[in-house]
Structure 1
Amino acid sequence: MHDTSRIDTCYGPVDEVVLQRARDIRLLICDVDGVLSDGLIYQGNQGEELKAFNVRDGYGIRCLLTSGIEVAIITGRSAKLVEDRCRTLGISHLYQGQTDKLSAFETLLGKLALTASQVAYIGDDLIDWPVMARVGLGIAVADAHPLLLPKADYVTHIRGGRGAVREVCDLVLLAQGKLEDAKGQSV
Structure 2
Amino acid sequence: MNLPNLSQALLDKASQIKLVILDVDGVLSDGKVYYTNSGDEIKSFNIKDGLGIKLLHQNGIKTAIITGRESKIVERRAQELGISHLYQACPDKRAAFQELLQKESLSAEQVAHVGDDLPDVPLMKMAGLGFAVKDANWFVCQQADWISPVNGGQGAVRPIVELLLFSQQLLDATYNQYLA
For the aligned pair, the TM-score class normalised by the smaller chain equals: over 0.9
Three-state SS of the structure 2 residue aligned to 1:29 is: strand
Which residue in 2 is equivalent to 1:4?
A: none
Cα distance, 1:181 vs structure 2: 2.2
Picking from 74, 86, 97, the partner of 2:89 is 97
Which residue in 1 is equivalent to 2:12?
A: 20
Check if 1:33 corresponds to 2:25: yes
Identity of aligned residues (%): 47
The CA distance in 1 between the partners of 2:119 and 2:54, in whole Å, is 26
Higher helix residue share: 2
Stretch deviating more after TM superposition (11-20 or 118-127): 11-20
Check if 1:127 corresponds to 2:115: no
Three-state SS of the structure 2 residue aligned to 1:171 is: helix
Which residue in 2 is equivalent to 1:11?
A: 3
**1:123-171, Cα deviation, whole Å (9 max, x unpaired):** 0001001111011101111100111111111111111111111111111
**1:40-92, Cα deviation, whole Å (9 max, x unpaired):** 11110011001110000000000000110000000000000100001100112
Three-state SS of the structure 2 residue aligned to 1:133 is: helix
TM score, norm. by length of structure 2: 0.95
The CA distance in 2 between the partners of 1:45 and 1:121, in whole Å, is 35
Three-state SS of the structure 1 residue aligned to 2:5 is: strand
Which residue in 1 is equivalent to 2:129?
A: 137
Q: Report if aligned partners of 1:29, 1:122 keep a CA contact under 8 Å in 2.
A: yes
Q: Report if aligned partners of 1:64, 1:182 keep a CA contact under 8 Å in 2.
A: no
Which residue in 2 is equivalent to 1:56?
A: 48
The CA distance in 1 between the partners of 2:11 and 2:150, in whole Å, is 17
Check if 1:88 corresponds to 2:80: yes
Picking from 167, 171, 179, the partner of 1:179 is 171
The CA distance in 2 between the partners of 1:163 and 1:19, in whole Å, is 21
TM score, norm. by length of structure 1: 0.91
Check if 1:109 corresponds to 2:129: no
Q: Report if aligned partners of 1:22, 1:137 keep a CA contact under 8 Å in 2.
A: yes
Cα distance, 1:13 vs structure 2: 3.4
Cα distance, 1:14 vs structure 2: 1.9
Three-state SS of the structure 1 residue aligned to 2:6 is: strand
Q: 5+ residue gaps in structure 1? A: 1-8
Which amino acid in the other structure matches residue 55 of structure 1? Answer: I
Which amino acid in the other structure matches residue 146 of structure 1? Answer: W
Three-state SS of the structure 1 residue aligned to 2:65 is: strand
Which amino acid in the other structure matches residue 88 of structure 1? Answer: E
Stretch deviating more after TM superposition (127-136 or 10-19): 10-19
The CA distance in 2 between the partners of 1:96 and 1:181, in whole Å, is 34
